[in-house]
């Protein structure tokens, strides 16, 4: 049974690169990514990008971006949110079957409201942390982005969405308490959508963690070693915010050609 993987860039955030890679200099313009997976038995969106409120000129940036507000420029137009990206490609956002969040930060769960009828898949421990009273203060979770009454599936560990091993949520804790990545079996081989378990190819090459927005550095390093093993065994990685993998694209929904995606497959020794 073959499945198709599409990527979308749902805006950009420009910030000091040192936020993503400890000690790095200069700024980085990071793509905000969402993915569509079409399986013969249903459709999946992995991560939903930023919230539409950020389109508005009177948006309360402090509230929307929290500690990122003073140091981040958001480049995000109304035709770039997850619903607009899907609609432009002839897909109906109200008919998406599964909405999977890697985690519940503002650049990954911001568009959840735009997929109103999807079943929501989020790790149990991420759900618990995000709904905790201190969630916003400790971890920058904004409940209004995801406390929307979706029918929720809360796995504690791996979750095989269609029961055939082709679309599997894989726990990759560290960045947040309950972060998960998405492992896919395409005709051309296995692919891992890392989410923020690994921001950039450089993060993995140099095994460098971000200095902040990080729940557990040891867990995150364990996760990154697993990504290295996955790549070494022939798997491909699509990183959380790596500009090099999206260079030259206009961001519209487009099937991902893993063989032509820079830095997806590397044999490390
Ligand atoms: Zn992110």
Tally of domains within the chain: 1
Q: How far is the CA of 69 from the centre of ligand 1 (A)?
A: 15
- Calpha distance 119→134 (Å, rounded): 26
Residue 223 CB neighbour total at 10 angstroms: 21
66 part of a folded domain: yes
pLDDT at 119 over 60: yes
261 part of a folded domain: no
Q: How far is the CA of 94 from the centre of ligand 1 (A)?
A: 24
Domain around 117:
4-252
Tens digit of each residue's pLDDT (9 = 90 or more) over 149-208? 999 999 999 999 999 999 999 999 999 999 999 999 999 999 999 999 999 999 999 999
Q: How far is the CA of 198 from the centre of ligand 1 (A)?
A: 9
Q: Which of 74, 7, 77 is nearest to 245 (CA)?
A: 7
Residue 159 in tokens: 């979750």
- The pLDDT > 90 percentage for the chain reads 87
Q: How far is the CA of 189 from the centre of ligand 1 (A)?
A: 25
Q: Which of 98, 256, 230 is nearest to 162 (CA)?
A: 98
Phi and psi based region of residue 207 (left: phi greater than 0; alpha: psi -120 to 50; beta: remaining): left
- Calpha distance 61→49 (Å, rounded): 16
CATH number at residue 141: 3.60.15.10
269 part of a folded domain: no
259 part of a folded domain: no
**Residue 56's pLDDT band (cuts 50, 70, 90):** confident
Q: How far is the CA of 3 from the centre of ligand 1 (A)?
A: 25
Q: How far is the CA of 1 from the centre of ligand 1 (A)?
A: 31
Tens digit of each residue's pLDDT (9 = 90 or more) over 120-147? 999 999 999 999 987 777 778 999 999 9
**Residue 63's pLDDT band (cuts 50, 70, 90):** confident
pLDDT at 269 over 70: no
192 part of a folded domain: yes
**Residue 267's pLDDT band (cuts 50, 70, 90):** low
Q: How far is the CA of 20 from the centre of ligand 1 (A)?
A: 9
169 part of a folded domain: yes
49 part of a folded domain: yes
17 part of a folded domain: yes
Q: How far is the CA of 166 from the centre of ligand 1 (A)?
A: 24
């Amino acid at each position: 049974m073959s499945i198709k993987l599409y990527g979308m860039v749902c805006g950009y955030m420009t910030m000091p690169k040192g936020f993503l890679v400890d000690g790095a200099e200069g700024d980085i313009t990071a793509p905000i990514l969402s993915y569509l997976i079409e399986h013969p038995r249903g459709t999946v969106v992995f991560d939903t990008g930023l919230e539409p409120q950020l389109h508005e000129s009177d948006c309360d940036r402090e509230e929307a971006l929290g500690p990122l507000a003073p140091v981040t420029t958001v480049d995000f137009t109304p035709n770039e949110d997850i619903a607009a990206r899907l609609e432009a490609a002839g897909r109906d956002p109200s008919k998406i079957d599964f909405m999977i969040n890697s985690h519940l930060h503002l650049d990954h769960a911001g568009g959840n409201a735009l997929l109103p009828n999807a079943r929501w898949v989020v790790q149990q421990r991420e759900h618990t942390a995000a709904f905790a009273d201190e969630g916003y203060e400790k971890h920058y979770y904004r409940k209004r982005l995801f406390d929307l009454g979706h029918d929720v599936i809360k796995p504690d560990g791996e979750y095989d969405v269609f029961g055939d091993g082709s679309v599997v949520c894989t726990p990759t804790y560290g960045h947040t308490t309950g972060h998960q990545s998405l492992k896919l079996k395409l005709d051309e081989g296995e692919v891992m959508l890392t989410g923020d378990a690994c921001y950039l190819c450089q993060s993995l090459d140099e095994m460098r963690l971000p200095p902040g927005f990080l729940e557990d550095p040891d867990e995150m390093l364990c996760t990154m070693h697993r990504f290295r093993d996955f790549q070494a065994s022939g798997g491909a990685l699509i990183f959380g915010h790596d500009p090099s993998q999206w260079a030259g694209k206009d961001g519209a929904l487009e099937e991902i050609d893993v063989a032509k995606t820079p830095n997806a497959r590397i044999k490390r020794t």
